[in-house]
Structures are given as C-alpha cells and as structure tokens.
Structure 1
Amino acid sequence: MLFTYVLFHSFVSEVKAEDLPQVNGESAILIDAKTGTIIYEKNANTPMYPASITKIATGIYAIENGNPDDVVTVSKNARYVEGTRVYLGEGEQVPLRKLEYGLLMHSGNDAAIAIAEHMEGSEAKFAEKLNQYLAETVGVEKTHFTNPHGLHDENHYTTASDMAKIARYAMKNETFRTIVGTLRLPWDGKEWKSELNNHNKLLRDYEGATGIKNGFTDQAMHTLVGSAKRGDTEFIAVTMKTSTSALAYKDVRTLLDYGFAHYETKMVTKHGTIYKDQGSKQEYVVDEDLYVTAPLGASIETNVTQSGQLIVAAGNKQYEFMLTPKFKPAPRIPVDAEANKAPIASAKAPYYALFAAWLLLNATLVLYVVTRRTRRQRRASAKNIYRRMGQP
C-alpha cells in the first residue's frame, strides 16, 4: 500500500510538469479505472459535500449485500422525502432490483430510503453499515455518510479521491455497470407510469461513456462522476462544487479528453506467467493480470530483480510489482555455522567414548552375574541327583 501511494503520487508530480487541464470545480481527480493510477488531481483530498453522487455508494452496497428479488414495501418516510423522486406510493411493493434502477438512473431519493429501510431497518443504521463497508471493503479514508441519498447534512461528506475509489470499485460489478449505462427504462409504478431517463448526459454525447452519476444540492452545488472507455482504456473523472451543471460536465469531458490524449492502459503480463531471475535462476509466478498506465504509444520493458520484484518501464514511467517465488529456496547455512560443525562434534567425542565404555562395563557385569547363577543352579541339581541315588 505504501509503494502504491508513492508510485501514484510520483506519477502525478511528473504529470504536473506538463500542460494540465483547467477545471472549474473546487475539487477534481482523474484516474485510470483499471490500475487506479492518479493522472490528475486538484484538492482531491479536501472534504466536500457530495449531493446525489452518494447514491453510487448506496447502489453498490445494495447490489452486493441485497437480494435483487426481494420485495420492498415503501414506507411513508420514503414516500414523502424531498427532492428528486420516482414517485413511489406509500405501501407500494417494489422489487429491490427495480429500486436500484430508480436510484442510479433517475436519482430517486424515495428509492434510496426504501432500499435503506429494507436492508438495515432505518436510514441511520444503513448509514452506519455503509460507512463500515466503504472503509473496510473499498478503502476510503475521508468519507462519512449520514443518509443513503445525499441530501444535505453537515456530517455527510467525502472527497474527490474517495469518490473515485468508490466509483472504480463499483464499476467492477457488472450489474452496477449495466444500470449506470442504461439510457432508458419503462417505469410502471403505483403512482407514476412513465419512462426513466438516465440523468447522466455523458451517455448521450461523449464517445465511449460508461457512467456514472451526477448530483446537486444548494450546499454541495454541482457534483459529477463520469467514466468512459475506448479500447482497453477506461478513465474515471470526478468534479465537485462547480457553480453550474454545464461547468461540471465541461470539467469531466476535459479530464477524460486529457486522459485519452496522453495515456493508455497496457497489460504487462497475464496471471500465471513465470519469470526467472537471470542471476539466481529463481523462478517467480505472477498472481494476477498486471496492468500499467503508460504514456500513449510507449513500449513496455520488464526486468526481474533478485528480490523478486518485476520492474516495468513504460516510456519514462517505472512501476514495481512483487512476484511470488514458484519454489521456496532451501535456507542457506551461514558460513560460520559450517565452520563450527566439526569442532562441535570433536568436542563431544570424549563423552560419547565414556558413554560407550559405561554400557560395555554394565553388559559385562550382567553377563558375569547370569553365568555364575547358572553354574550354581547346575551344581545344586547334580547334588540332588546323587543323593537320590545314594551316592555321597
């Protein structure tokens, strides 16, 4: 983890020397979705109000921890929540899967509360479980949510860096990817019969857009997490606290454009590949597919060190990956120990000789005693026989 931190931040510091994109949001970040490499950041670790991009976390939590076929009964609390809704009716019964679409496509606050209450009993309990999940499973560091929808609360905050981590984790789930990439969906509800239209405008006008979610409150202002994939390369961009929706989308497009213009994701090697250190001849195996974020068009060169590190050079960038020894080498006996083997054995030789002499002496005594006893028994038997025959 320490190496990853140093690697990513040294990567960013090198990129800053170039002509970086200009963004309007107070906080922003651009990462490679495959490797997690940070390509650009601006106040990325500053706490911000997220608004509805909170629903990215709620959505992936529900997908991974809920049963999509569960039937959820909508409460009065969910029915009368403020803000964007999919107009769920009080007492309406809706499959959890359908609520996930209403949450992520249409940003329904009522869908968020219905999901939270169904899964954990209340919004507060859901927030507690969600925070634990994000910290332990996703690895966020500066995020604390108090509700499942993102309506303003002083203690409801995150950072652009954490949101990028959450989005990257969520996009590894195919169900989540499908939902946030869906443009339209018929909606046949108790109080509302219509068609859901995905609120994310990137899906309509940005090449290769794959997601993810926008948000707005008066305090958070406009927030947006966007992703796009071209070929084998996918980037995730986050902008927070922009003054208008148009500027938020401009930020994300600018960041994504910059990523595709300068970098690409390249596979270094596949899981199971064997590397050999030419010095020690030790073989190492790759535990998972390895990728790097490389300058566009850069070639990949690899080298294995005696300590089992795979050094990857991609243009002017360098990465290191720890490999697993295929066979554990036998432990080497220190030179001093080899030298001391003979003296130790030699020093113990007199004790071994004394022990052998003691055993021999005891064996001789035992044999002597047994022999004498046997002779006495024979003499006594002979005397008895002579007496019976009347001989002296």
Structure 2
Amino acid sequence: MKQLKLILIFVVLVSSLLPFQVYAETGQQIDVPDIKSGAAVLVDTHTGSILYEKNSKTKMYPASLTKMATAIYAIETGNLEDLVTVSANAYNTGGTRVYLEEGEKVTLKNLIQGLLINSGNDAGTAIAEHLNGSVDDFADSINAYLKEKVGVEQTHFTNPHGLFDEEHYTTAYDLALITKYAMKNPVFREIFGTKELKWDGESWDTTLHSHHLMLRGEIPFESVTGGKTGFVNESRHTLSTSAEQGELSLIAIVLQADRKEIAYEDTVELFDYGFENFEVAEVTKEQPFIDEKNASYRLDKPLAYTKKKNEEIELVLNDQGVLQILGEDGRLLSMKQLKMDIPNEAMSTRAEITPAEQNETNPIPAILMVVFLSIGIVYLQKTIKNMKKST
C-alpha cells in the first residue's frame, strides 16, 4: 500500500511539470568548432537561433564591418537616387577608397555599392555627410537607429567606415543582429552578395571586386550568399558572411583573427558545423502552455527555431507569458511573448467564488451530501430496529 502511494505521488509530480517542459528525443554528441579568432557567433538568419558563440558579447573593434550598418541605415533612411556632392572631408578620408574627387556627384546607391563592395572609406564619409550633415551627427543618428530598429545592446559607432576610434565598438552578437536585420532588405542583400561591379568614377574607371574571398570563390564554399571583410591594426581581421543550404540560412561573424587565413578557416568551420548538425523545427500554434497561476497561453502563429538534430529541447514559460526555447546546453534558441487565452481578471473572479456559490454552480457536492445522509439514516434505522429486538 505504501509503494502504491509513492507511485501515485510520483505520477502527480511528473504531470504537474508537463505544461513547462517538453523534451524531444535524446541529443547526440557533436564536435564543437575549434575557433581560433577572439570572438565568433553563428546564427540562423530567419529564426535568430544562436548555434555557436565564443565571446560573442565581448566589446571589440569591428573595423569595416561597420559599413554593413552604414549601408542598411542609408538604404532605409535615404533616397537611393539622390545625387551626393563629395566634400573635401570625404575626399581626404584615409584607408581603402573608391577615389572620389572633391565636388564629384555620385548617386547614393553608387556610394553604398562602393562602400560595401570595395570598402570605400571615402564613400562612407560622403554618405554620412549627405544623410546627417556631419560625421558626428551621423554617429548620433545611426546609434539611435541601431538600438531602435535592430535591438543592439553593446554597440557605439563614431564614424561610418570603421577606422579606429577607442569609442567605436560593438560585439560579434550585435554584428550578427545587424547582418540579420539588413539581409531582410532586398537592396542590401543584392549589394552584399555582389562579386564585382563596373565603376565609372570621375577619376577612377574600373571594376570593383568584393574583398571577400569566399564570396569571390577563391576559397570554395558554394553556399555563400554575401560577405564583408574588415581590418585595422587594433581590431585585427574581421569577417561577416552569409550562406544558405536548404531551409538553413546562416550568418557567421568572426572578430579579432590574427591572420586573414584564420578568419576564413573559422568561418568555414562554423558553416560546416551549422549545416551538418542543425535543422529547422517549430512549435505549433495549437500547443497550449499553462503558467503557475493556471493562466493559459498560446502562440498567434507557429514559432520556428533552429536546433541540433535529435537535440533535447526544453520549453520554459515564465510568469509574464514569455516562452523560451532552450537547447540541451542551456542555449537560448528562441523566445516569444505568448497570447493569454484566459485573462487574469477572469481567473481571479473564479478564485473568489464562495462555498455557497460553488455548491450552486457545481451540484456534485450537494448530491454526495444527500447520498451520505441517506445511507446514514438507513444505517441508524437498522441499528434502532436491532436494539428493539434485543430488548
């Protein structure tokens, strides 16, 4: 009897956990990439799931990966057909250039192409001054834009190109967020994936070639769809790359690689790891979730996320109705605010029903009382009758 009670208690406890934790099949051992760069992150472009990270939220210098942010900011806030007049300040900007001449007029779209494909610092300065009047005002505006639109947390830019400044920093994760956000825009996606472009400048007629060796095909990886390189002495080599295979669309960010070769080797290893070991799954719209107060929540649409193949998944609902999808090692794969089915007010009202009201709304306790009373009366009558016979 004691064993039966223990089994029943165990069943009740397990059942009470079901609304909060749902597990898939047992996960398998996967060889984690041996990343030599100082920081790296691999994310799914569509679901936002983090597949790998190393120092991904450590502040670092991005170098020319800054230009991805400048490009999407210019695309979304400017007019691509605007003619931009190149200033003396833009002409004198150092580092990699597209050799703009002072007074030259170039469309904003052409400047963005020169910025991303050939990493033109002079194009970056011309864009900043056209959009906001000065580089300083541009910095204030793009920082606000990145926080509001992209949701970056540890990014602060002082210029549009990434030339070194101690106060110009970001993280691998924030750069992944910027790339993910920008890839939703078809204009950005086209330029980000351009391998070469005819450039007809006032003083420089040439063909621009992407600096990204994987995009150009010099380092073979057929799935690559876009990329941006970066380098200054203080940041070392930095790399942002996008790739697609089937349902998986991935972004790899690599920062602080001591050599260019290391940045590419790490990127290839990240993509191999991602495409070989991960798959897209979803939580259905119909699946209910119950919190500790018995409030019922549901998704308004299916929630896609990326997980390891055969990975054990944990679904956690907090008391604010936020659903977190956690991987087997505690990685946050995705999170979503759910919609409540039963408002708390209605639940509170139900909790305050008096015993008398409960009897009115639920007739079962009253019926049981009548049955027990009837049995008691019959038993009492039999007892009295037996007492009379004995006397």
Contact 1:295 1:315 in 2 (8 A): no
Corresponding residue for 1:80?
92
Structure 1 CA distance, aligned partners of 2:170 and 2:123? 22
Contact 1:275 1:283 in 2 (8 A): no
Structure 2 CA distance, aligned partners of 1:236 and 1:206? 14
Corresponding residue for 1:254?
269
How many corresponding residue pairs?
324
1:78-112 Cα shifts (integer Å, max 9, x gaps): 11211111111111111111111111111110110
Mapping of residues 17-166 of structure 1, within 5 Å: 18-166=30-178
Q: Classify 1:284/1:26 alpha carbon distance in 2 versus 1 (closer, same or farther; 3 Å).
A: closer
Structure 1 CA distance, aligned partners of 2:328 and 2:39? 29
Amino acid at match of 1:39: L
C-alpha displacement at 1:235, in angstroms? 1.3
Q: Which one of 225, 229, 238 corresponds to residue 214 of structure 1? A: 229
1:167 maps to 2:179: yes
Contact 2:176 2:251 in 1 (8 A): yes
Contact 2:321 2:337 in 1 (8 A): yes
1:244 maps to 2:259: yes
Amino acid at match of 2:214: L
Q: Classify 1:216/1:276 alpha carbon distance in 2 versus 1 (closer, same or farther; 3 Å).
A: closer
C-alpha displacement at 1:326, in angstroms? 6.4
Corresponding residue for 1:265?
280
Contact 1:274 1:283 in 2 (8 A): no
C-alpha displacement at 1:30, in angstroms? 1.4
Structure 2 CA distance, aligned partners of 1:181 and 1:165? 18
Corresponding residue for 1:223?
238
Structure 1 CA distance, aligned partners of 2:147 and 2:317? 34
C-alpha displacement at 1:240, in angstroms? 1.1
C-alpha displacement at 1:265, in angstroms? 2.3
1:176 maps to 2:183: no
C-alpha displacement at 1:220, in angstroms? 1.1
C-alpha displacement at 1:261, in angstroms? 1.3
C-alpha displacement at 1:277, in angstroms? 7.6
| TM-score in terms of structure 2 length | 0.73
Structure 2 CA distance, aligned partners of 1:159 and 1:303? 27
Structure 2: gaps (5+ residues): 1-26, 358-391
Contact 1:32 1:265 in 2 (8 A): no
Amino acid at match of 2:225: T
1:160-215 Cα shifts (integer Å, max 9, x gaps): 12111111111122211111011111111111111111111121221211112110
Structure 2 CA distance, aligned partners of 1:50 and 1:316? 29
C-alpha displacement at 1:65, in angstroms? 0.9
Amino acid at match of 2:212: N
Q: Classify 1:288/1:98 alpha carbon distance in 2 versus 1 (closer, same or farther; 3 Å).
A: farther
Contact 1:274 1:284 in 2 (8 A): no
1:272-318 Cα shifts (integer Å, max 9, x gaps): x555689xxx997643452111223679999999x988797999999
C-alpha displacement at 1:253, in angstroms? 0.8
Amino acid at match of 1:208: S
Amino acid at match of 1:48: M
Corresponding residue for 1:194?
206
Secondary structure of the structure 1 residue equivalent to 2:346: coil
Q: Which one of 292, 299, 303 corresponds to residue 290 of structure 1? A: 303
Contact 1:276 1:304 in 2 (8 A): no
Amino acid at match of 2:307: A
Structure 2 CA distance, aligned partners of 1:102 and 1:298? 43
Contact 1:187 1:194 in 2 (8 A): yes
Q: Classify 1:259/1:108 alpha carbon distance in 2 versus 1 (closer, same or farther; 3 Å).
A: same
Secondary structure of the structure 1 residue equivalent to 2:244: strand
Contact 1:56 1:104 in 2 (8 A): yes
Contact 1:31 1:237 in 2 (8 A): yes
Structure 1 CA distance, aligned partners of 2:302 and 2:87? 46
Structure 2 CA distance, aligned partners of 1:310 and 1:79? 51
Contact 1:31 1:164 in 2 (8 A): yes
Corresponding residue for 1:4?
none
Amino acid at match of 1:214: T
Q: Classify 1:45/1:336 alpha carbon distance in 2 versus 1 (closer, same or farther; 3 Å).
A: closer
Amino acid at match of 1:296: K
C-alpha displacement at 1:266, in angstroms? 3.0
Structure 1 CA distance, aligned partners of 2:311 and 2:129? 50
**Higher relative contact order (CA closer than 8 Å, sequence separation 6+):** 2
Secondary structure of the structure 2 residue equivalent to 1:151: coil
Corresponding residue for 1:351?
none
Structure 2 CA distance, aligned partners of 1:83 and 1:257? 33
Amino acid at match of 1:229: E
CA RMSD, Structure 1 to Structure 2 (Å)? 3.5
Contact 1:25 1:241 in 2 (8 A): yes
